[in-house]
Chains A and B, each alone.
Chain A
Amino acid sequence: MSEALLVKEAGAAPVVAPASGARLFWRRLRAQRAASAAALVVLLLVLVALAAPLLTALAGQDPNAYHPDLVDSAAGGVPIGPFGGISADHWLGVEPQTGRDLFARIVYGARVSLGVALVATVLQITLGLIIGLAAALGSRWVDQLLSRITDINVALPIMVIALALLAIVPETFPRPVLIALVIGGINWAGTSKIVRAQALTLKSLDFVSAARLSGRGKWSIARRELLPSLAAPVITYAALAFPSNIIVEAALSFLGVGIKPPTPSWGQMLTEADTWYQAAPTYLLLPAGLLFVTVLALTVLGEGVRTALDPRAASRLRVGTKSAKHTEGGAA
């Protein structure tokens, strides 16, 4: 805002306006090689997840179709053929015992793993934002109450409470939705703590006081003045919460209380692959490797987002200084 003012005061038309927040962010993100590579990997995974029906149609396979002829039932159901039954029809081989196509299951599994984590992250951030803002802007009483609730939320170990909640919900409830709700619904304390602390600091700054003195309501101030300043820490938090939610979903499914078969998820595939590592190693290594690559890429991307949004760290990237100089020159 202050930079825009500078440009106006200079009164000179040809001044190059500074890059907008979003554009500067992209430039700073692209300046980091590791984060750019990670972003490409993530993009590819998201495309695969979105195009799952298309890709499986292309391969001519169905994730839930059994192919008993492709496994050696005499040998306990080991896939026939090299590397877990890889062939022109089955690009990544087939599942032991059932003969289901692994490529189709992996691709549909990506949908579940990424989708559940995404919904959980959005829910957790939204809840955290609402609760944190309410605590910072509400009366002392509201703040006390919400802060104590946050304390209780922190005291709940996510895995344990998610396990417990999954026990009492009827089986008929759509499982992926339930897991996203559980992970997101009990994991908002981190966000609300950051939001509350940040909002309390912002509240005492001049531009917020000015907005208050001009007679605007609390929620209008929260939306128009506080939210833009809260974006950086919250986006950073979300970017790093997303991969950890993927791990939580995989863990729950691995424990047998998450995604239920026949719906494939990487964590759930791992449980079943557990006993097959000698006879069909690819069956185990595929979901394990993909989980690792996905979480690593998302974490590196998250770190990149953090650096791009942190003015101190970003200044070391030497991006965006050029336009700033232009502004100074224009003002002078």
Chain B
Amino acid sequence: MTGFLVRRLGGAVLVLFALTAILYGIFYVAPGDVAQIACGPRCSPAQVAQVTEQLRLNDPLYVQYGHFLQGIVAGRDFSTGTGVEHCSAPCLGVSYQSDQQVTQLILAKLPVTGSLVIGAFAGWLLLGVGTGVLSAWRRGRLTERVLTWLTLAGAATPVFVIGLLLIIVFCSTLQWLPAPSYVPFAEDPEQWAWGLLLPWVSLALIESAKYARLTRSAMLETLAEDHVRTFRAYGVGERAIIGRHALRGAVAPVIALSALDFGTMFGGAVLTESLFGIPGIGRELVHAVKVVDLPVVVGMVLVTGFFVVLANALADVLYALADRRVVLS
């Protein structure tokens, strides 16, 4: 187990390292005039030259990449034109637009995205597994067929369509809910929950479809196994078989998928955040893309990649812990 963990994490570090090289290559080398982008379209050649000097763009490529890596591992200093600013350890650079440090920017956005993901996660897990259990229990009946179609419809709906419709129905037409917003949990837990309710529901509705299918198929597989037939022969009731035995078969795959989705969501809730105006990582990324703020874009993609790689490793470990038949190698 320890050996596996070490190797898995070693692999993860390698993947992340390669990711930095690729991202650096694509974003700082390919678009050509980084200084012009950093300075803005209305900059005079003299200003561009000054920015080139500040960002040390005249250094050879490997030196620039070295600085970038050095910033992530050990921190680095940035000249701000008037003085020198230190950017400590996991330094992902400084925003072209706001001169804010990217690491600080991401740290400030993490609790926002975290709030969104955690609530939605609880929702889709409950809804998805519940639907899956119900359709495995009622297999072959009308309930199962209705649930199967609902699940398909859920998987076929983009999150922004569901979200738009929910806003229209509940906020505008019925006026049952306030417009979605983000209030920090520490400030007002009740406002926090009400403001995030619709985003949670939209994400949960869409994501739960996957979980419903996974739970259902894993349970049906277990139900077809010999030991379940033995239980039936002993007179164990259907409820006990579904709840105690069949559900157990679904635990490992559901946990593994949860870990993956949880990781992806931290960077992938772009749409939900943009639609509902929640100022998290995703919305910041869209903004950074629109104004071509390269350090912010690269930093956020890296952090997202970090979460995905971490989640992948976590999924493997959790899978093995939940299902003893799996041998980690």
Contacts and interface: CB of A to CB of B under 8 A. Distances in A.
Interface of A: 148, 151-152, 154-157, 159-161, 163-168, 243, 247, 250-251, 254-257, 267, 270, 274, 277-278, 284, 288, 291-292, 295-296, 299-300, 303
Contacts of A243: 156
B328 interface: no
B156 A299 contact: yes
A303 B275 CA distance: 30
A88 to B, nearest CB: 29
A267 B161 CA distance: 9
B239 interface: no
Given A168-B26, A256-B290, A277 B172 contact: yes
Given A160-B285, A164-B301, A299-B156, A254 B271 contact: yes
Contacts of A154: 308, 312
B161 A291 contact: yes
Contact of A299 (B22, B152, B268, B294): B152
A324 B157 CA distance: 41
Contact of B158 (A164, A247, A284): A247
Interface residues of B, number: 46
Which 6 residue pairs are nearest across A and B when measured between Cβ atoms?
A: A296-B156, A167-B289, A295-B156, A168-B31, A155-B305, A155-B308
7 contacts: A148-B18, A154-B308, A157-B264, A159-B270, A254-B271, A257-B286, A296-B156
A274 B285 CA distance: 21
B157 A295 contact: yes
Contacts of B26: 165, 168
Contact of B268 (A157, A250, A267, A295): A157
Interface string B153-189: 1011110110011001000100000000000000000
Contact of B271 (A159, A164, A300): A159
A186 to B, nearest CB: 11
B36 to A, nearest CB: 12
B164 A270 contact: yes
Contact of A250 (B19, B152, B158, B274): B158
Given A157-B268, A292-B157, 16 more contacts: A151-B15, A152-B22, A154-B312, A157-B267, A157-B301, A157-B308, A159-B270, A160-B270, A160-B301, A168-B292, A243-B156, A270-B160, A277-B164, A278-B172, A291-B161, A299-B155
Nearest to A151: B15
Contact of B270 (A163, A277, A288): A163
B289 A163 contact: yes
B153 A296 contact: yes
A113 B32 CA distance: 31
B11 interface: yes
A73 B196 CA distance: 36
Contacts, number: 117
B158 A255 contact: no
B271 A148 contact: no
A277 B170 CA distance: 13
Given A257-B286, A257-B290, A300-B152, A155 B270 contact: no
A115 to B, nearest CB: 18
A299 to B, nearest CB: 5
Interface string B277-298: 0000000011011101010011
B327 interface: no
Contacts of B292: 167-168
A315 to B, nearest CB: 15
Contacts of B304: 157, 160
Contacts of A296: 152-153, 156
B78 to A, nearest CB: 22
Contacts of A277: 164, 168, 172
Contacts of A299: 152, 155-156
A159 B304 CA distance: 11
Given A148-B14, A247-B158, A257-B286, A160 B165 contact: no
Contacts of B172: 277-278
A284 B173 CA distance: 15
B300 interface: yes
B31 to A, nearest CB: 4
Contacts of A148: 14-15, 18
Contacts of B268: 157, 159-160
B286 A255 contact: yes
A276 B71 CA distance: 47
B107 interface: no
Nearest to A164: B297
Contact of A155 (B19, B165, B285, B286): B19
Nearest to A156: B305
B4 interface: no
Contacts of A155: 15-16, 19, 305, 308-309, 312
Interface string B103-127: 0000000000000000000000000
B179 to A, nearest CB: 13
Contacts of B301: 156-157, 160-161, 164
Contact of B161 (A156, A160, A166, A292): A292
Contacts of A254: 158, 160, 271, 274-275
Given A164-B289, A167-B289, A151 B271 contact: no
A284 B164 CA distance: 9
Contacts of B11: 151
B30 interface: yes
Interface in B1-24: 11, 14-16, 18-19, 22
Contacts of A165: 26
B30 A288 contact: no
B273 to A, nearest CB: 10
A151 B164 CA distance: 35
A255 B15 contact: no
B271 A255 contact: yes
A255 B172 CA distance: 22
A152 B286 contact: no
